[in-house]
A = this chain, B = another copy of it.
Amino acid sequence: MALLSPSSTRFLCKNPNPTRGDRAIASSLRRAPSSVVSPRSKPFSLAISSRSPTRRCSASLAESPIVAAGSRFQLEDVIEAQQFDRDILNEIFEVAHQMEEIEKSSTGSAILKGYLMATLFYEPSTRTRLSFESAMKRLGGEVLTTENAREFSSAAKGETLEDTIRTVEGYADIIVLRHFESGAARRAASTASIPVINAGDGPGQHPTQALLDVYTIKREIGRLDGITLGLVGDLANGRTVRSLAYLIAKYQNIKIYFVSPEVVKMKDDIKDYLTAMGVEWEESSDLLEVASKCDVVYQTRIQKERFGERVDLYEAARGKYIVDKVVLEVLPKHAVIMHPLPRLDEITVDVDGDPRAAYFRQAKNGLYIRMALLKLLLLGW
């Protein structure tokens, strides 16, 4: 990540926490060609930079869009799990924890009063959408919703995502984008002069899910170093387990067990990455043995749509590793069961009542993580 020193920063952008007025003035400047023509003008690797949180003050800084506010990194877009290092994760989790307090307080919060979030969903994901919209409203902000942007009349007529983003950025202060195409969020962020959060782009990234998963481990187990994880189910196609493996590898003394039907095994890229990061990992076909050693059993759904016409293979894979009361019997008292939801029957409902069933708390943590990100992107640290 390229950084300017704090002193040069102050020169480039005097106001690390611009008011909406400042930002509007900046964004109303006619853009120079270089800042608009090409999405490549804002390389993704700068998505976390030390720029002003709202980025609008850099509208006139097309060639050097990097600004530091004090000595802390600034979030500018949330595009993929890879953009987060340990320090940034810790800072986000700290803010998320503050958000828990705010959500539970009787007075609520109005820190985002006057801010508008546009949820631009090109494929349905009600759970994710409601979570973001609840997060925005719990902080006093307002929302413009598009549940089915794929039928966005303009998109249907052939408008590019870039043109849509350039229109919507005039109506809102932040865009939450769900798209069916891998890489769409990065393209949107390259175009937008306001922050963009990736709420899932096709088979690609779903970084807020990855953040809430790691945050849940921290909240439930109390630490992130020295964790033993069992990743269970569809490890080949599930982007959640892949992102989780990626992020947790940034911590010390991690041990990961992979437990999955042969047809949906974890792929080599993640295994190689873990090895390179010094993470111990092992494949196992014995869920009970793995469960007895884990701090976290992370179960996932076997996705029928991945098996095409081979329903027989799907049925075999689906029934193979079920988290049920028998698993609970061997699971350590302090351990938890997680699941990104929705679940079918890969966790039986009689597990739900056990205090170690953490998946609905995990879903709730998605709210706190999204509140934290909205706060950080719009107001900074």
- Show the binding face of A for B, using Cβ within 8 Å: 19-22, 24-25, 28, 30-37, 103-108, 114, 116, 118, 123-127, 130-131, 133-134, 137-138, 142, 144-149, 151-154, 157-159, 162-164, 166-168, 170-172, 301, 341-344, 349-350, 352-355, 360, 363-364, 367
**Smallest CB gap from A103: residue in B:** B24
A377 to chain B minimum Cβ distance, whole angstroms, is: 17
A25-B104, A104-B24, A167-B360 known; A154 vs B33 contact (CB < 8 Å): no
B342 touches A131 (CB 8 A): no
When all copies of this chain in the complex are counted, the total is: 3
Q: Known interface pairs A124-B153, A151-B124, A353-B33. Does A168 touch B116 (Cβ–Cβ under 8 Å)?
A: no
Given contacts A30-B355, A168-B130, contact A37 B349 (CB under 8 A): yes
- Whether B106 pairs with A20 at a CB distance below 8 angstroms is yes
On whether A106 and B144 interact (CB within 8 A), knowing A137-B116, A353-B33, the answer reads no
| A144–B163 CB distance below 8 A | no
Interface centre among A105, A344, A350, A353 (most CB of B within 10 A): A353
State the CA gap A42–B341 with chains docked (Å): 24
Q: How far is the CA of A133 from the CA of B170 in the complex (A)?
A: 12
Chain B neighbourhood of A33, CB < 8 A: 352-354
Question: What residues of B have a CB within 8 angstroms of the CB of A34 in the complex?
Answer: 353
- Kindly state the separation between the CA atoms of A37 and B164 in the bound complex, as whole angstroms: 43
Please report the C-alpha to C-alpha distance between residue A172 and residue B172 in the assembled complex, in whole angstroms: 23
Do A134 and B353 have beta carbons less than 8 Å apart? no
Nearest chain-B residue to A162 (Cβ)? Answer: B349
In the complex, what distance in Å separates the CA atom of A158 from the CA atom of B346? 12
Chain B residues with CB below 8 A from A163, complex form = 341-343
Given contacts A21-B105, A25-B104, A130-B171, 11 further A-B contacts (CB under 8 A): A34-B353, A37-B349, A106-B114, A108-B114, A118-B130, A125-B153, A126-B152, A130-B146, A147-B147, A157-B344, A162-B349
Closest B residue to A135 using CB positions: B171
Look across to chain B and name the residue whose beta carbon is closest to the beta carbon of A148: B147
Tell me whether A127 and B104 are in contact in the complex, defined as CB-CB below 8 angstroms, given that A350-B37, A353-B33, A354-B33 are known contacts: no
Whether A126 and B108, one on each chain, are in contact in the complex, defined by CB atoms closer than 8 angstroms, is no
Is B137 within 8 A of A142, CB to CB?
yes
**Measured CA separation A29–B19 after assembly (Å):** 39
C-alpha spacing A172/B367, complex, angstroms: 11
Query: Known contacts A106-B22, A360-B166; is A146 also within 8 Å of B158 by CB?
Result: no
Pairwise interchain contact A171-B134, C-beta atoms closer than 8 A:
yes
